[in-house]
Amino acid sequence: MDYRQFLKKIPKIELHIHLIGCVRVETLIEIAAKNDHVLPEYKQPEDLYWKQWFFDVYPMVCHALRDADDFYRIAYESQQDGAAVGTRYRELFWSPSIHMGDGIDYKTALEGVLQGLADGEKDFGIRTNLIADIPRFTEVDAGIELLEIMISNPHEKVIGLGMDFEYSGSPEKHREAYRMAKAAGLKLCGHCGQAEPAANIAYCIDELGFNRVDHGYSVVLDNDLLQRCVNEEIVYTVCPVITQRGLFPWALSKHPVREMINRGLKVTIGSDDPTMIDSDLTKDMILMAENMGYRPADFKEFTLNGIDACWLDESTRKQWRATWAKEIDALLAEVDTNESLHYALDEENWKWSHSGIQTPCEERNRFWQHGEEIKSKMAEN
């Protein structure tokens, strides 16, 4: 068995993936037409995803959705696509605040999503729970309103609260929403440390109560914080491929996640928004192997880290850790460990192109400047 076949076959867990980031572009076009929702002009369907700045793409897809059938379809298709690459369990971010802002009732949207996930689990064998995600650009009152609705309408599949769009505000903004979520027994995480200081990661852990950190690459700028996270075994859900394309515009081999792993942080791999970058969890793992030098046993560790960090009960995590480890070990025994992988990324074949983004973007420039700061810090170590 070659290395790529191994990465295709191993059981996968994914804790950093967005429902909207799983929407197939053909599905977006069909749903938009059904709802008389106007999309930007495009020559090829893929241009809707690959010729715009990402933070314009995500809300574009959100605003096309209108009814429970739309949410059902995207949830069901996400299950199908996840199972096709060997994913067995996911904790999936979704953004009810954005949909509520479009006048869509929380319960209507949730009903469609949950039914799509349930049918997808029945048909494809992939289990998924939900994390409600508050964009930082959301007003404080809207975040509190979301938590009030969630608390009034609890569901066993809605297990956590997250936070996204970190460029659009301070994490302090939604402190009350996190307090409410914690009191209600929800697990807590959020996107932080991409284009903001490492101090914001510490704030999210200490003041908001994060159980794990999403992205968190700025941790390499603060040696004390990094070592603390190592000591406390705080797991980071990292997404090297999508962030290399949008945040760190240099070779994937120089992505800060390598420094994080080298320093002993526990990480688990996510694809973030797979359809929007023409990728999936297997492809992301293959790119990491080809360009970052990680070996088969490393991906076993990343997978088991995901089991440790997931928000299932201890009994299930213990059982999965044992059975998945045994299954992966059997696959490891068949891998040709002498196989030589190339370690050069062929950027010409990428469908996502920085130069293809037509609109100048202040947020993009700030992301890249912050990335240069991280790169300089890594060079010192």
pLDDT in tens, 72-112: 999 999 999 999 999 999 999 999 999 999 999 999 999 99
Q: What does the pLDDT look like over 225-256, one tens digit per residue?
A: 999 999 999 999 999 999 887 777 777 888 88
Give the residue-averaged pLDDT of 326-348: 69
Q: What's the total number of domains in the chain?
A: 1
State residue 245's pLDDT score: 77
Give residues with Cβ within 8 angstroms of 232, minimum separation 6. none
Chain centroid to Cα 268, Å, comes to 10
Give the residue-averaged pLDDT of 170-178: 94
Structural domain includes residue 342: no
State residue 148's pLDDT score: 98
* Cα gap 154→184, rounded to integer Å: 9
**Amino acid symbol at 179:** R
Give the residue-averaged pLDDT of 350-372: 45
Structural domain includes residue 343: no
- In 3D space, the residue among 195, 184, 190 whose CA is nearest the CA of residue 217 turns out to be 195
- Decide if 229 contacts 193 (C-beta within 8 A): no
The answer to whether residue 311 scores a pLDDT higher than 60 is yes
pTM confidence score: 0.91
CA Rg value for the chain: 20
State residue 344's pLDDT score: 40
Q: Which position has the higher pLDDT, 240 or 338? A: 240
* Cα gap 313→41, rounded to integer Å: 47
* Cα gap 93→130, rounded to integer Å: 6
The answer to whether residue 349 scores a pLDDT higher than 90 is no
The answer to whether residue 362 scores a pLDDT higher than 60 is no
Structural domain includes residue 314: yes
State residue 358's pLDDT score: 36
- Of 204-208, 257-261, 364-368, the range with the lowest mean pLDDT is 364-368
Give residues with Cβ within 8 angstroms of 91, minimum separation 6. 14, 15, 128, 129, 130, 131, 159, 160, 310, 311
Structural domain includes residue 86: yes
**Which secondary-structure segment (H or E) carries 192?**
strand 191-192
- Decide if 21 contacts 272 (C-beta within 8 A): yes
Q: What is the CATH number of the domain that holds 267?
A: 3.20.20.140
Question: Token pair for residue 284?
Answer: 């992301």
* Cα gap 377→268, rounded to integer Å: 23
The answer to whether residue 269 scores a pLDDT higher than 70 is yes
Dihedral pair phi/psi, residue 295, rounded to 5° = -100, 170
State residue 49's pLDDT score: 93
Encode 211-250: b = buried (16+ Cβ within 10 Å), e = exposed: bbbbbbbbbbbbeebbeebeeeebbbbbbbbbbbbbbbee
Helix (H) and strand (E) counts in the chain: 17, 9
- Decide if 237 contacts 268 (C-beta within 8 A): yes
Structural domain includes residue 352: no
Give the residue-averaged pLDDT of 3-10: 94
Structural domain includes residue 346: no
**Structural domain of 145:** 3-337+360-380
Structural domain includes residue 209: yes
**Amino acid symbol at 43:** K
**Which secondary-structure segment (H or E) carries 90?**
strand 87-94
Q: What does the pLDDT look like over 211-223, one tens digit per residue?
A: 999 999 999 989 9
State residue 167's pLDDT score: 75
Structural domain includes residue 350: no
Q: What does the pLDDT look like over 114-166, one tens digit per residue?
A: 999 999 999 999 999 999 999 999 999 999 999 999 999 999 999 999 999 88
pLDDT band at 350 (very low <50, low <70, confident <90, very high): very low
Q: What does the pLDDT look like over 45-57, one tens digit per residue?
A: 999 998 877 778 9
